[in-house]
A and B are shown apart, each in its own frame.
Chain A
């Protein structure tokens, strides 16, 4: 097989996949009878055309960075963690339990506590499928799918039977104490004197997402464990020969992955809703798959892809207002096409590029 330059692999191929996904989505919009370029304009304007739009876009980006990193870390160990949804659900439960446990005096105390709880709960939910994969060879994809459904049933049970205050109809927990309120972008920017739109739920978790990107980069490319994870992902037999324990790598990579997915809930549960709702994950666990595929499992790529999906989610909401014929589900279609082209049909995009480079090289020599 002819190798292609690194920049083509990392930037050109994902961009081509994205372009294909957008082209097909454009055709769908055209088929519905609307102008795809107008739709694109509304999406861009609605997401990055105002501080309000930016606030929401970055709020969604925060979710997708966490779930994208979660999938990416598992990908490095050749594990497909499709259970981000369930792990984030449990993460939300952990964050909520901690926030409700005590009258928090200050967010500086509540925030780290919620972060640790969310990560631990998320990791714990990934631990069982990881153990079953490592020790008993049960396929991680199937077990994590099953655990998504089990997590949701568990959450509904807890909200309806345990956490719902008596006399209340809606299946949600009581609001968190005021001390557990995480500062929003509006409040944080006010400290340094910058005015910012008040309504978007963008909060301090966004900074945590950026930190997570750096930490994951350090982990994967600058630590011994990261090296072992990558080695295991490239070739299990070679890794075993080098004395790397498969059980240890599967467990650790999945625990980290689950923890990252759990962290996503800090943003939605502790940052936005400030209570535990029945659907606090909102499909972000699945978007993480598209994000990790687009971002080629690299933190910088994940950050960019998460931002792109943030734009799509916020812009999609605006699109629904301005162009009622194209509803929010358009975003799910785009997301599906991105997963299809950047993930499953990767070779379809890659092979012509490889051929092109081989041709150019032959001409040059």
Chain B
């Protein structure tokens, strides 16, 4: 494996990790506040559809992004109303949201564009285009760094560059601000937060809202950044991989980034090599690579490699004493 191949694989890892990072951070906010969310997938899908559809009709990717964020946030609010206001089962609500997004986008997509559930191909201002960072030309001459900078670091879309600062920002919000402290408290011990005179519902709704927005970014990136348009069920389990990454990272932002990069790398390798030959072991089939994030997560969950302990009040509706 030469340098070019490695750079190409890492480059595709960056692109494939981006939606995972957004969705994983979305889950982080929600679950840290005590709201389980297995509807990341559905929210991303809804955002992917509405951003691509809006971008296709208006020709503006920013309007598309706005539409995507709105769609994902609306679904997040449904989840909030079901699991906070009506104290319903958060997991069942998540399942419903996934189906709602999957069915609704395919139904409306076919109805609007008659392309078998796809949106028209986006071009020009209709999608996020690669951004060339400064000095690519200048450094290009330097043997190793030039390639690394020019092909790996430069030339991604805006949303990819947005993903990394978002990780930092999430960490800062969750662990260095008063709001973050309260958010984490509401996920561990809502009674204490309530006793402190804060509204558990309001905090949880805020977390759900942030979750929706972040899913919106992830979904918009899928259809307007990574691809040039929406195709049916294009999230293809990415929301669940993000969920897996969240558990893998044990609900911590820095580790979440690493987990998302790892799962992105696995996907990049699986796409590049259909079957991998490893000396002495034999062929590693493509399907094993695809299943690896899930298998790793089960192993982590099983507690064989350090135990993954979710926020203590996760999944339990808060009932104020009457």
Contacts and interface: CB of A to CB of B under 8 A. Distances in A.
- A joins B in a complex: yes
Interface in B270-322: 285, 287-288, 290-291, 294-295, 297-298, 301-303, 308, 310
A289 B99 CA distance: 11
Interface residues of B, number: 47
Contact residues of B: prevailing secondary structure: helix
A82 B78 CA distance: 21
A82 B287 contact: no
A4 interface: no
B92 interface: yes
B100 A340 contact: yes
Contacts of A161: 285
Given A132-B301, A150-B295, A339 B99 contact: yes
Interface string A225-239: 000000000000000
- Chain A to chain B: the 4 pairs with minimum beta-carbon distance, closest first: A332-B103, A344-B93, A336-B99, A153-B291
A197 to B, nearest CB: 29
B107 A329 contact: yes
Contacts of A286: 95, 99
A327 B110 contact: yes
Contact of A333 (B86, B100, B240, B291): B100
Given A146-B240, A343-B89, 6 more contacts: A142-B244, A336-B103, A339-B92, A340-B82, A343-B93, A345-B86
B236 to A, nearest CB: 10
B243 A293 contact: no
Contacts of B91: 80, 82, 141
Interface in B246-292: 247, 285, 287-288, 290-291
A128 B285 CA distance: 23
Contacts of A41: none
B96 interface: yes
Nearest to A33: B111
A340 B91 CA distance: 11
A330 B100 CA distance: 10
B237 interface: yes
B291 A329 contact: no
Nearest to B98: A336
A332 B298 contact: no
Interface string B32-69: 00000010000000000000000000000000000000
Contacts of B310: 139
Given A142-B297, A146-B297, A327-B107, A339 B95 contact: yes
Contacts of A289: 92, 95
Nearest to B300: A138
Interface string B83-114: 10011111111011111101110111011000
Contacts of B288: 153, 157
A136 B92 contact: no
A42 B301 CA distance: 47
A325 B308 CA distance: 47
Interface in B99-132: 99-100, 102-104, 106-108, 110-111, 117
Nearest to A132: B302
A76 to B, nearest CB: 15
Interface of B: 38, 78, 81-83, 86-93, 95-100, 102-104, 106-108, 110-111, 117, 237, 240, 243-244, 247, 285, 287-288, 290-291, 294-295, 297-298, 301-303, 308, 310
Given A82-B91, A344-B89, A143 B107 contact: no
A189 interface: no
A149 B104 contact: no
Contacts of A32: 107-108, 111
Given A139-B301, A153-B288, A339-B96, A333 B87 contact: no
A199 to B, nearest CB: 26
Contacts of A337: 96, 100
Contacts of A212: none
Given A146-B244, A340-B82, A344-B83, A138 B303 contact: yes
Contacts of A146: 240, 244, 294-295, 297-298, 301
Contacts of B117: 329
Contacts of B240: 145-146, 149
A154 interface: yes
Contacts of B106: 327, 329, 332
A335 interface: yes
A340 B98 CA distance: 11
Contact of B298 (A80, A147, A160): A147
A331 interface: yes
